[in-house]
Amino acid sequence: MAANAPQTRTCPVCGTSVREDFLYTHVRTDLDVLNELMRRNPSWVLPDGSCPRGIEELRASRRAGAEAGARQA
């Protein structure tokens, strides 16, 4: 294995061998979504919760923003 090759680990959920940095991608994404939720709704706290539709709308909004940024680059 090359010295700079990405490390792999076994996913504890499905058993697939994946790059180690991929194991935490969803956590970073979810934290970004939660941060956006708090930015848009300053009085919101985690115990308030949110419906799946609200979270998906935030995710879609973030994806659209990322895609627009990529097109401008």
Q: Is the pLDDT at 1 greater than 60, yes or no?
A: no
Per residue in 10-57, pLDDT tens?
A: 887 788 888 887 777 776 778 888 888 889 889 988 888 888 788 888
Check pLDDT > 80 for residue 4. Answer: no
- Give the separation between CA 28 and CA 36, rounded to whole angstroms: 12
Report the pLDDT value the prediction gives residue 42, as an integer from 0 to 100: 92
- The domain limits of the chain are 8-72
pTM exceeds 0.85, yes or no: no
The reported pLDDT for the residue numbered 43 is: 92
CA-to-CA distance for 66 and 39, rounded, in angstroms? 17
pLDDT at 71 over 80: no
